[in-house]
Amino acid sequence: MEERYDPQKVELKWQKYWAERNIFKTEPDASKKKFYCLEMFPYPSGKIHMGHVRNYAIGDVIARYKRMRGFNVIHPMGWDAFGMPAENAAIKEGIHPAKWTYENIAYMKKQLNRMGLSYDWDREVTTCSPDYYKWNQWFFLKMYEKGLAYRKSSFVNWCPSCMTVLANEQVIDNGCWRCDTAVIKKELEQWFFRITHYAEDLLKACDELKGWPEKVVLMQKNWIGKSEGLEADFKVIGMDERIRIFTTRADTLFGATFICLAPTHPLAEKLVSDKKSLNNIREHYGKEDEKLGLFTERYAANPVNDEKIPIYIANFVLMEYGTGAIMSVPAHDQRDFEFAKKYNLPIRVVVIPEQQPNPPLPPFAKGGRGGITNFGLEAAFEEDGVLVDSGSYSRLKSDAARIEIAEFVEGRGLGKRVINYKLRDWGISRQRYWGTPIPIIYCEKCGLVPVPENELPVILPEDVKFTGTGGSPLADSEKFINTSCPKCNGKARRETDTMDTFVDSSWYFIAYCFGKGKIDFTSGTETSPPFNPPIGKGGQRGGSPALSYWMPVDQYIGGVEHAVLHLLYSRFFTRVIKDLGFINSPEPFANLLTQGMVCKETLKCPEHGWLFPEDVKNEKCVKCGKAVERGRVEKMSKSKKNVIDPDYLINKYGADTSRLFSLFAAPPERDLEWSDQGVDGAYRFLNRIWGIVYKYRRQAPGVRCQKLKPNSSLVTRHSSLLLRKTHQTIKRVTNDMEREYHFNTAIAALMELVNALSSFEPKSEEDRKILKFGIETLLLLLSPFSPHISEELWESLGNKKNILEQRWPLWDENIAKEEEIELVIQINGKVKAKIMIAAGLADEEVRGKALDEPRIQEIIKGKTLKKVFIVKGKLVNIVI
RNA sequence: GCCGGAGUGGCGGAAUUGGUAGACGCAAGGGACUUAAAAUCCCUCGUCCCCAAAGGGCGUGCCGGUUCAAAUCCGGCCUCCGGCACCA
């Protein structure tokens, strides 16, 4: 054994050892409980970053820990390989996206292996390979058959920079999720997945996501955005038309003083004669600037009292939500209020607060009760209350009135109660090259024809031109576009849009279960006894035993930025796949851990802007020598240059230190602040362990000492303390792992054990045995965090079998238990003394010992004891 | 605006059920070893009063409450972070 710890040597040795034996390969084994540990697969952008290091370190600890706990662990990895950066590289540097992508994958795979991650590479998936995206196409066809994939024209979010469409979820603060460019509305024919078909199910099942952070569940619920309300028809006076509106406030129906249509509402054209004005409004549609309206010069009849009210077109009314038309109740809706003020429309109060008039009346009441109160109001009253000026419904409370008025409107045949969702169908068409071709053919005679299943995959052609201008390169590829119709064999052309890359990542966790190159949803085998029977109902395919064995994912780990996007799409896809009969559970991820961001302080030179850490020497910019400003701690990003390159870190300290630091610096769900000194600390810790093992490597060879008991005649007092500490450490580390994966406190416990080991001086043979037991236990507990050094030192101690194949140690509660406890004695809640007493004494004895304590005697002398509280094993509080 | 989450030493963080606030690490200061430095090891380390010790006061964003006892529970506020945002 070397005296000095050389991480490079140790780590490469064990990585080679693991790879040669393909040690992380797993197969279904019905005799063992499975554990599916999954980290979000990366986009192969070139190199891994610290966010990946953290994400994959967390996942690897869990995988290795569960493996030692006896689970059959599946721990796969792959590549989210379609996407825009590859195409941008092609435009900028002339490299083909495929070449660029596969080269990046090769490099990043090396990096991941260099981190010592325990992946079963026999399950690797690469989404840009035809044997993967074939199944995107297959799912598309299945969904098309079931009406879950459809085409429609609509106003879509368009990113002018990426030159493509974005789904609603992919618009962040009105900008593109990828490049931040302001998104504009554009009318296009698009393919959609009918995710709204599952809206209610996706929402209801949120409550079953017990293993997810509440925050994420809430975000999903809000995104789905269920609301119950009334759809009501307003007849257009003098025309044979009705305008159907949606409202959640049927109780305010008597307060409606006008109605508004979205500019793109089908009736808008009919009602408005001034097309120029209509187009003007359309240009301001969906923009968050001022509210704009256009009077149609037509009127409609309120379904509740046939009152005649004006019809407007308004830019703020969305066609995509509800019916694309609203009734406007300015007294009780702030938006309508602003609109009414601007266009001088009447405002009628029909709901007043329940508690009157003390506390003082809200501003709206200044104008008096009920009636047209088009003055004195400063804001709408949007809360529930009591109805006024609403015919026979006056004096009812809002909640009751909502039901009664809705029933009345329903009774007149002028509406129905409905449920609406904010969730829209998922637009998947992208006008880009580097994605999955949508398997559709347009025939001059037969129209829209799906590509037959046996002709899949529709291969993405390689010989296309990347100009960076205009639309998708596919649209210019004659070879690709021109085809023949599968029905009539006549001239036809292919769809040139490709699929959103979120389609790829919506089922990759299911793909892993098949194994590399073996994805197959068409030849499901019959139920075989060792596995759970697949759910396939009559007529459906049999499903796959591998899928029912491995699914769902037991622990999913990734960034919170996917809280709605990827996670919602995956839940949708998993439902579709379940309904096709391939898996049992509609939920893909039983437990979800959303890890925090990796952050670092930013550095800025007044002249050269953001600086890399290595561009700063002695607080000065290396280029100009000016003093550097220390900025805020922010998420590591290339643009702010506050990054640490994982390659640099691993070359300098090794993978074990890098992993250990990123796990120790903060609990996984919280943001992690980078600290160079912290990394040094982690490195020092591993060096100390190396030193301890080196010092004692030849002591007590071949001994296992699980059965040693403290205070037996052979064991000295100081060694029985070490034995206890060892058992306590097993207990603490195990509990920290089980309790929300709090690795930081688990590592802190290991550090305490190292402190105890390094200050221990063995004097007898028994001491040496206990010391060795302590060291071996330390290595076992450390191995999920820093696996290479643990293997190396384990071997140095003469162990023949891998530490990987060892069982997680168990603690003995009798040994871990303290014999003496420190009793805190408080007087009136303030700590006055601490004494050591035997553990497990009866309350009376504890009380006696506390009162006998001289310091306490001194204070309570001559005072009456009011009460004495005893907390077992901890504290006594004497109230005087 | 609406909905979440957080606020603890110089710093990252700990405190599992209301029961010793500050585990563990980092930084800092002092010491040992060394020709010297690095490395390593040992000691101190919330703050204030006191020469010091002993002891005591204060202290988990702020104000108030419940309790024998509050970082933890309740009410009100402040700040920061995240999500949603014309969704009728």
Q: What is the ipTM of this complex?
A: 0.94
User: Which nt has its C1' nearest the CA of A673?
Assistant: B12
User: Which nt has its C1' nearest the CA of A382?
Assistant: B88
Cα dihedral angle (A464, A88, A572, A505), rounded to 10 degrees? 90
Using alpha carbons, select from A522, A518, A514, A520 the residue that is nearest to residue A540.
Answer: A522
Which tops the pLDDT comparison, A747 or A377? Answer: A747
User: Which nt has its C1' nearest the CA of A682?
Assistant: B25
- Give CA A351 to chain center in angstroms: 41
Measuring alpha carbon to C1', the residue closest to nucleotide B6 is: A670
SS3 A185: strand
Per-residue pLDDT at A106 exceeds 80: yes
Using alpha carbons, select from A264, A323, A269, A118 the residue that is nearest to residue A804.
Answer: A118
Per-residue pLDDT at A425 exceeds 60: yes
CA of A326 to C1' of B86 (A): 12
pLDDT given at position A531 = 37
pLDDT given at position A617 = 78
CA of A880 to C1' of B53 (A): 29
Mean pLDDT over each residue of chain A, to the nearest integer: 88
Per-residue pLDDT at A534 exceeds 60: no
CA of A40 to C1' of B80 (A): 29
Q: Pull the structure tokens for residue A71.
A: 């689970």
User: Please, which pLDDT band fits residue A795 given cuts at 50, 70 and 90?
Assistant: very high
CA of A355 to C1' of B1 (A): 24
User: Which nt has its C1' nearest the CA of A325?
Assistant: B88
- DSSP bridge partners of A397: A386
Using alpha carbons, select from A129, A126, A119, A141 the residue that is nearest to residue A63.
Answer: A119
Q: Do A514 and A132 touch, CB atoms closer than 8 A?
A: no
- DSSP bridge partners of A244: A233
pLDDT digits (tens, 9 = 90+) for A835-854: 888 888 888 888 888 888 88
User: Please, which pLDDT band fits residue A375 given cuts at 50, 70 and 90?
Assistant: low
CA of A752 to C1' of B34 (A): 29
SS3 A537: coil
User: Which nt has its C1' nearest the CA of A174?
Assistant: B85
Measuring alpha carbon to C1', the residue closest to nucleotide B40 is: A688
Average pLDDT over residues A76-83: 96
Cis peptide before A359 (omega within 30 of 0): yes
Q: Pull the structure tokens for residue A618.
A: 């002695």
| Residue-by-residue DSSP string for A805-850 | TSPPP---HHHHS-SEEEEEEEETTEEEEEEEEETT--HHHHHHHH
CA of A855 to C1' of B22 (A): 26
Per-residue pLDDT at A741 exceeds 60: yes
CA of A158 to C1' of B45 (A): 59
pLDDT given at position A700 = 66
Q: What residues have CB less than 8 Å from A186, skipping those under 6 apart?
A: A155, A156, A158, A165
pLDDT given at position A855 = 83
User: Which nt has its C1' nearest the CA of A291?
Assistant: B86
Q: Do A65 and A667 touch, CB atoms closer than 8 A?
A: no
Lowest mean pLDDT among A123-137, A283-297, A575-589, A816-830: A283-297
User: Which nt has its C1' nearest the CA of A247?
Assistant: B88
pTM for this structure?
A: 0.91
Per-residue pLDDT at A541 exceeds 70: no
CB A394: neighbour CB atoms within 10 A?
A: 14
Which tops the pLDDT comparison, A841 or A17? Answer: A17
CA of A206 to C1' of B72 (A): 29
Per-residue pLDDT at A560 exceeds 60: yes
CA of A309 to C1' of B84 (A): 33
| Tokens 């004096």, located at residue | A395
Per-residue pLDDT at A368 exceeds 60: no
pLDDT given at position A442 = 95
Q: Do A257 and A311 touch, CB atoms closer than 8 A?
A: no
Average pLDDT over residues A555-567: 91
The span from the CA of A314 to the CA of A310, in Å, is 12
- DSSP bridge partners of A233: A244
CA of A110 to C1' of B67 (A): 59
Measuring alpha carbon to C1', the residue closest to nucleotide B13 is: A666
The span from the CA of A876 to the CA of A373, in Å, is 68
The span from the CA of A756 to the CA of A758, in Å, is 6
CA of A685 to C1' of B36 (A): 27
Per-residue pLDDT at A140 exceeds 90: yes
User: Which nt has its C1' nearest the CA of A855?
Assistant: B55
Lowest mean pLDDT among A119-133, A233-247, A696-710: A696-710
Rounded alpha-carbon distances, angstroms, from residue A346 to A143, A328, A337: 49, 10, 9
User: Please, which pLDDT band fits residue A790 given cuts at 50, 70 and 90?
Assistant: very high
Measuring alpha carbon to C1', the residue closest to nucleotide B15 is: A745
Average pLDDT over residues A267-275: 89
CA of A704 to C1' of B72 (A): 43
Give the relative orientation of helices A787-796 and A676-696 as an angle to the nearest 10 degrees.
10
CA of A359 to C1' of B75 (A): 19
Q: Considering chain A, what percentage of its residues have pLDDT values greater than 90?
A: 59
The span from the CA of A386 to the CA of A355, in Å, is 9
User: Please, which pLDDT band fits residue A366 given cuts at 50, 70 and 90?
Assistant: very low
CA of A624 to C1' of B35 (A): 39
The span from the CA of A474 to the CA of A481, in Å, is 8
pLDDT given at position A605 = 84
CA of A378 to C1' of B74 (A): 35
User: Which nt has its C1' nearest the CA of A333?
Assistant: B88
CA of A202 to C1' of B88 (A): 23
Q: Report chain B positions within 7 A of protein CB atoms.
A: 3-5, 11-16, 19-21, 23-27, 39-42, 56-57, 68-70, 82-88
User: Which nt has its C1' nearest the CA of A759?
Assistant: B41
User: Which nt has its C1' nearest the CA of A169?
Assistant: B84
Antiparallel, parallel or unpaired: β A34-39 and A555-559: parallel
Lowest mean pLDDT among A90-99, A121-130, A619-628, A686-695: A619-628
pLDDT given at position A536 = 41
pLDDT digits (tens, 9 = 90+) for A25-48: 999 999 999 999 999 999 999 999
User: Which nt has its C1' nearest the CA of A285?
Assistant: B86
| Tokens 């639309």, located at residue | A471
Rounded alpha-carbon distances, angstroms, from residue A310 to A73, A236, A265, A534, A671: 66, 10, 16, 59, 54
| Helix, strand, coil shares, percent, chain A, to 5 | 40, 20, 40
CA of A661 to C1' of B30 (A): 29
CA of A81 to C1' of B64 (A): 58
The span from the CA of A441 to the CA of A811, in Å, is 65
User: Which nt has its C1' nearest the CA of A678?
Assistant: B26
Measuring alpha carbon to C1', the residue closest to nucleotide B81 is: A671
pLDDT given at position A704 = 59
pLDDT given at position A633 = 81
The span from the CA of A783 to the CA of A776, in Å, is 11
Measuring alpha carbon to C1', the residue closest to nucleotide B42 is: A759
Q: What residues have CB less than 8 Å from A359, skipping those under 6 apart?
A: none
User: Which nt has its C1' nearest the CA of A292?
Assistant: B86
User: Please, which pLDDT band fits residue A543 given cuts at 50, 70 and 90?
Assistant: low
pLDDT digits (tens, 9 = 90+) for A311-352: 999 999 999 899 999 999 999 999 999 999 999 999 999 998
pLDDT given at position A376 = 65
Per-residue pLDDT at A597 exceeds 80: yes
Measuring alpha carbon to C1', the residue closest to nucleotide B1 is: A334
